[in-house]
Structure 1
Amino acid sequence: MNGGLPGSVGAVDPTLLVIVVIVTALAFDFTNGFHDTANAMATSIATGALRPKVAVVLSAGLNLVGAFLSVEVAKTISGGIVDETRISPAVIFGGLIGAIVWNLVTWYAGLPSSSSHALFGGLIGATWVASGTSAVHFGKIVEKVLVPAVASPVIAGVIAATATWLTYRLTRRAQPKAATRGFRLGQVASASLVSLAHGTNDAQKTMGVITLALISSGSLGAGADPPVWVILSAGLAIALGTYFGGWRITHTLGRGLTKLEAPQGFAAQTSAATVILASSHLGFALSTTHVCSGGILGAGLGGPVREVRWSVAGRMAVAWLLTLPLAGGVGALAGVTADSGTLGVIAVALAGLVIGGGIYLASRRRPVGPRAVVDELEVPAEPTPVRAVA
């Protein structure tokens, strides 16, 4: 490594580089917010429990609050998956660029992939190439990332399917309109809980990255907790991203995966919030996207019609499988380039800006905003039912 070491040929000023990493980490946090807005609010919007703009304002505020509830996940990132003593801020910068690029690509495609796994992939790839395999803690990655990635959507799906089935059984004699109103009110509470959980889990990942950069530059001691200013800035960044909304992914999760009624939306959100909050307490850096998608699938299968668009689910699964390796590949290339010195950092920054700007301009040709979501809810297209195996 030489990108963060004073005195090396072409070395970047360490203080300036840390500032660049912090700004880039907050930019990733912003993309995480608008990429994952759908996790908390898609089902509430789909069932009419909340209007789109109200939903994103509520979600943004609760994401900010959630950022202050725990630092266990942040500690997993800053001292768990890679050796913080063997990487420079330049390597972390490259990993962040890999995560941001993948987030923007999947956002443009409307695919609810994992921002968390994009971040892990970018950091792992950059660290691996710059410092070797011994700098990557594969045991911790399996324990804290891969196992939760597989188990969490399954657990959330089983809970949601069971809760949905029980809900319809217990309310089958209730007046339909009264029951729907009750479940929509319940959805407001459960959606709020998911937003709180999202801030607790996902904002911490950016806190962890900034803390990792501060440790690797010597500004903090090894194993240090995130400072208060790091917690506040990460919470604000993810809240702002959430406010601007990820309508492309909201469309996919809210209507593209399955058609949800209010009881199903309530069950999906409650199961997701339970799994996320429990995992945050244990320090598991899981994907809220995986959990919420599993909850929605489970709710669709537990309902009376059991309809799921398996083609959409298949596209999502492919994106999930590709996230770690592809974000890792981009992160590896960006990390080793940035670690070469000042010109490398500039080249990576410019490449990130060009790719991000290109994706944004392409998205303006086919915009998806809150009005489009509302129009679809007012005149919904009925999906073709696919009968699940009992």
Structure 2
Amino acid sequence: MEVTGHAQQAAWRGRTVPAVERVRPGLWSVPVPMGGPLRWVNAHVLELDGGGLALVDTGWDADDSWAALCAGLAGLGGDVADVRGVLVTHMHLDHVGLAARVREASGAWIAMHPADAAALTAMTGRSPETSTEHEVAFLVGLGAPEADARDDAGTPEQRAQWRRLARPDRLLEDGDRADLPGWSLRAVHTPGHTPGHLCFAEEDTGLFFAGDHVLPRISPNISTHPGGDADPLRDYLASLEEVAALPATEVLPGHEWRFRGLAARTRELREHHERRLAELLAAVRAHPGSTPWDLAAHLTWSRPWSQYARRMRIFAVTETDAHLRLLASRGLVVGDGGAVPAWTAAPVR
């Protein structure tokens, strides 16, 4: 894998946010800051034939993020009012968050995959109170004590911003072309990180807008969700194999930095998950009858398990659950069939 976004990587190492960068004629990367360890989202700006701009992802819905996006567009000689369309790679708040403000300021259309559009509609259609109870019940169903589940899920007030998220005007299925004059962007459905995650393959230049499907440094979180797909890790690994064969000249991810070597990076990610599956299988054998909540504590994470709480702990437990489901589909672990699944290694044949 070859790094091409050197300024982005240098900013990451320096714990700063990179500057707006011209990637190619008519294409810029605008970093939109966000809280948490990822630090920023790469909003990609495309100049359209006949005038106007398009965005691939927008950034987190916060005033400082909005100011950064507006300043970035001004820095390349544009304005939010120039935006004609927004391609959303997936429904997570750091990618779709500012789409509503962009549409309000410009009248731009917003497009995403039907699966994420449905999930987003369901999420924004619930009251914050109902949404909170929904997640608490899901976490309890994975083995969490109710008090811990409520602490991690947060309060209805913290979820109120979800109702401001923009629902799409347009839907893009796998293989559809985005309506962006001067560009030939084909939607590539890559479920796993979310059910409707989309990448976009630019067929004239070979550029590959990867969203969170393929990142250069970390593995995207692959988790189970209430009402989500039954085996998201299986979906993700299959999606990795699909995009590995694409003739990508450069990968433009939603976080971190640009790079070349899509096939090599997808291979690294598949190998990472196979190692993770082996580690989890060993944990199940050492602790038979454990729930996903219990088993997450026996895995290797980037920091001590005692430091995990709130959303980080939810991501860890639901990712553990996704790996358990794939092990089960391979016949390597067996659940007890209870309301809260307790897992045991399958008998060796």
TM-score (norm 1): 0.23
TM-score (norm 2): 0.25
Q: Select the structure with the greater relative contact order (CA < 8 A; seq sep ≥ 6).
A: 1
Name the structure where strand makes up a greater proportion of residues.
2
